[in-house]
Chain A
Amino acid sequence: MYNIASPITPIKGIAPKEKAMEGGKWKIVDEFDGKSHEDGGIDIFVSGGVVRRINAPHHKPDEYAGWGSFWKSLGAGAYGLGEGLLDTITLGATDKLTDMGYEGLQRLGGSTADEIREQNSVRGYGTTAGAITGGILSGGAATGSAIQQGSKGLGAGVSYGSPDSEFAQAVGTYVPLAGSIAGMAVGNAGYKGDISAATKGADAATKAGDLSKASELADKASRLTKLSKIADTTKNISKFSPLIQAGLSTMMRPQAQPQVGGFQQGVREVTPFLGPGMRESYRQLGQEISEASSPKRQTAMSMMDGVQNFGGEGGPIQFQVQPIQQADAFGYLGKYGINV
């Protein structure tokens, strides 16, 4: 397998890391019942995450699985993540380009129709996570676009492929946590304007002789600048990348328990497995946010308020998307011992 994200990801350092094997849950897909290798064996065709039996008695196989073997099938998801970031940072202007690139890569890889279907499904989920995360990392200015792009990705995941695909769902577990962090970023999305306002206020207070107020506002501007740098500096993507690798459904929450599908249940099952590094990343990010100004509700999110139905009536995924309150997010993190 090859990582199809790297050839077209335009910014250094944002190519998603390949997921490690450790930490996943294994499932039995098939128990082969048939001939031994001596008698001709069982011919199977492997293409990414698609495995199917074929009838090719006279065709020499590429591989014999006698001693066991393994392969990775994350390429499409990895690409989707990179593309989501690309589209977000450019505010969607590269939509056509990236679609063409994606289709070109599918052709290059000799993907079958089944594989393309699965890739499209996974790509949708991956794009959602990438887009929303890109919104955070671009400093909040692109967050509205990111969430729209994310919705598109999520819808694509449901409509193009198999929503019950465990593979797609595994990639999809990136989404809610990224969304919740995006929510926190949205809560502070006005910090760029606040930096300017605080700086001007500090200047005005200084001129007016109110040194206490000037100091307070200068300090606020400093904290907001620090937060802005976190979001704007791409090197911090690697620092906070663990944040998108688990499930946390603060922003995308179900309306009521009966509407929580397997997808979200899976997300919630992942949440308790936050590692020490991930917790530390949370703590650092939360600390930065809590040091910044009080959260604002931004218009970028208001367009997404209300129930979002992806995949049609009664579809597998139904979220109530709403602006996040900083306290909600911190309260949620507190359940897992992450106190900010």
Chain B
Amino acid sequence: MSKHIEAEGGELLIKSSNGYMAIIPKNMAEWAKEHIKSGNHAAIDHYVKGLKELKPGKKARNGMCL
């Protein structure tokens, strides 16, 4: 999958040892940083699973993800 994504200042790009990557919106960036630093990776898992998943072949609708 190759995609051109528009992010914005304040957002966070993270990746997991299980091969997942995520862009955290800026209003949750500080929260995510704190949990990653404290080692609470399960909380990040739970949060990221609630985000939209980028998949091949799908285009943005209404200006938002997927």
Contacts and interface: CB of A to CB of B under 8 A. Distances in A.
Contacts of B54: 1, 46, 63, 69-71
Contact of B65 (A27, A44, A64): A64
Interface stretch (A33-41, A176-184, A300-308): A33-41
A68 B25 CA distance: 5
A170 B2 CA distance: 22
A111 B60 CA distance: 21
19 contacts: A24-B16, A24-B18, A25-B16, A25-B17, A29-B21, A30-B13, A32-B12, A44-B7, A46-B2, A48-B1, A62-B4, A63-B5, A65-B65, A68-B11, A69-B22, A70-B20, A70-B22, A70-B52, A166-B15
Nearest to A29: B13
On chain A, which size bracket covers the interface?
35 or more
Contacts of A59: 4
A299 B30 CA distance: 57
Given A31-B11, A62-B3, A69-B52, 16 more contacts: A30-B12, A30-B13, A31-B29, A35-B9, A45-B5, A47-B1, A47-B3, A49-B19, A62-B60, A65-B7, A65-B65, A66-B65, A67-B65, A68-B25, A69-B51, A69-B66
Interface of A: 1-2, 19-37, 41-49, 51, 54, 56, 59, 61-74, 77, 109-112, 115, 166-167, 170-171
A56 B18 contact: no
On chain B, which size bracket covers the interface?
35 or more
Interface of B: 1-25, 28-29, 32-33, 36, 41-42, 44-45, 48-49, 51-56, 59-60, 63-66
Contacts of A112: 2
Nearest to B43: A26
A109 to B, nearest CB: 7
A12 B51 CA distance: 32
Contacts of A22: 18, 42, 45
Contacts of A67: 25, 51-52, 64-65
A34 B59 contact: no
Nearest to B55: A1
Nearest to A173: B17
B28 A68 contact: yes
A43 to B, nearest CB: 6
A111 B2 contact: yes
Contacts of A34: 8-9
